[in-house]
């Protein structure tokens, strides 16, 4: 068993636990966005596919790992302009990684559309928002680990607010990033976070090959470059944009400070549009879904 502290474990037993509202017909979820199966077909194997904002689908040998899925039409101060994937495109999802409780990262109505047996790994602070849904919820703290199908998940600290409407940012474990160690590569998802020493800790401890960084509103170009440098990742994927317009600051259809971001990070930067994917082992080969 792997697990350095707190609970550790594997998903074998967890598969027997059900998502109560699982596989509820997405069309019945009136609060969710318009489904587009052409833009979001079933994700490519052994790849990372960008699904807008903070949501990526990571396929590891057919096992689906999804970061912060929020398919709602509206969330706090934001309105969705991007369609959403059909449930058939995440029928193979086994793990959902929640970084924190903000409404653009944690959506009960979205999680209700995930398959039975999906395990949700989340900060302890977020677990209170995931009760009564029949979810297999695994609250975790920095350093906690979980394994599933040969993939190891490690919770790492983020410097961000942990509560749903909080404004006090701290690296206190109430918001998390995630390290995903697959047999072929290690992927780091930052979650929302300021730049802080945790990036260097991730670099030293886990040597990620690919860093997925939440840029808009958080790691703007200089801090994204610092984070990229600190993690040592050879590939940097900027996310936290491309799905929701913000009622106050607007925009969000491109990474902010995009040109500076490209200049500072250089060839390591791989910017994906919604629906595009990169192979985990060849992350500079960007692929676009084939049109019908």
| Residues at the site binding Zn ion, with contacts judged by CB under 5 A | 102, 104, 192
User: Nearer to Zn ion by C-beta: 60 or 155?
Assistant: 155
Distance CA 209, CA 91 (A): 27
Closer residue to Zn ion (CB): 125 or 192: 192
Characterize the bridge pairing of strands 47-50 and 277-279: antiparallel
In the complex, the smallest distance separating the C-beta of residue 104 from Zn ion, rounded to whole angstroms, is 4
Minimum distance, C-beta of residue 172 to Zn ion, in the bound complex (Å):
14
Q: CB 249 → Zn ion: shortest distance, Å? A: 13
- Residue 77 Cβ vs Zn ion, minimum distance, rounded to whole Å: 11
Tell the smallest beta-carbon distance from residue 197 to Zn ion (Å): 19
Residue 17 is encoded by which pair of tokens?
């636990």
Sign of the alpha-carbon dihedral angle for 171, 94, 152, 217: negative
Closest CA to 155 of 184, 126, 113: 126
What DSSP string runs through 120-170? Answer: EEEEHHHHGGGTTS--EEEEE-TT-EEEETTEEEEEEE-SB--STT----B
Find the shortest distance in angstroms from Cβ 191 to Zn ion: 8
Distance CA(20)–CA(17), nearest Å, equals 9
The CA distance from 176 to 127, in Å, is 13
Nearer to Zn ion, 177 or 279 (CB): 177
Which residue, 104 or 223, is less far from Zn ion as judged by CB? Answer: 104
Q: Is 89:49 a contact under the CB 8 Å cutoff?
A: no
Considering the complex, state which of residue 174 and residue 268 has its C-beta at the smaller distance from Zn ion: 174
Return the number of the residue (72 or 192) whose C-beta is nearest Zn ion.
192
């Amino acid at each position: 068993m792997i697990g350095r502290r707190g609970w550790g474990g594997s998903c074998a037993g967890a598969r027997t636990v059900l998502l109560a509202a699982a596989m509820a017909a997405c069309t019945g979820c009136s609060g969710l966005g318009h489904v587009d199966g052409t833009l979001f077909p079933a994700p490519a194997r052994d790849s990372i596919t960008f699904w807008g904002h903070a949501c990526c689908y990571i396929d590891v040998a057919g096992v689906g790992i999804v970061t912060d899925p929020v398919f709602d039409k509206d969330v706090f101060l934001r309105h969705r302009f991007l369609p959403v994937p059909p449930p058939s495109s995440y029928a193979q999802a086994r793990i959902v990684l929640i970084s924190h409780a903000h409404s653009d990262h944690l959506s009960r109505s979205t999680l209700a559309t995930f398959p039975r047996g999906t395990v949700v790994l989340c900060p302890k602070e977020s677990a209170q928002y995931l009760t009564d849904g029949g979810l297999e919820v695994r609250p975790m703290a920095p350093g906690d680990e979980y394994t599933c199908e040969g993939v190891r998940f490690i919770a790492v600290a983020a410097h961000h607010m942990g509560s749903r409407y909080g404004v006090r940012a701290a690296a206190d474990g109430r918001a998390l990033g995630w390290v995903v160690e697959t047999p072929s590569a290690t992927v780091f998802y930052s979650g929302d976070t300021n730049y802080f020493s945790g990036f260097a800790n991730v670099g030293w401890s886990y040597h990620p090959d690919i860093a997925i960084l939440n840029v808009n509103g958080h790691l703007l170009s200089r801090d994204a470059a610092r984070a990229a440098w600190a993690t040592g990742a050879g590939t940097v994927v900027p996310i936290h944009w491309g799905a929701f317009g913000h009622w106050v600051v607007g925009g969000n259809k491109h990474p902010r400070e995009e040109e500076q971001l490209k200049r500072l990070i250089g060839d390591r930067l791989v910017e994906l549009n919604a629906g595009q994917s990169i192979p985990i082992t060849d992350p500079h080969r960007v692929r676009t879904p084939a049109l019908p």
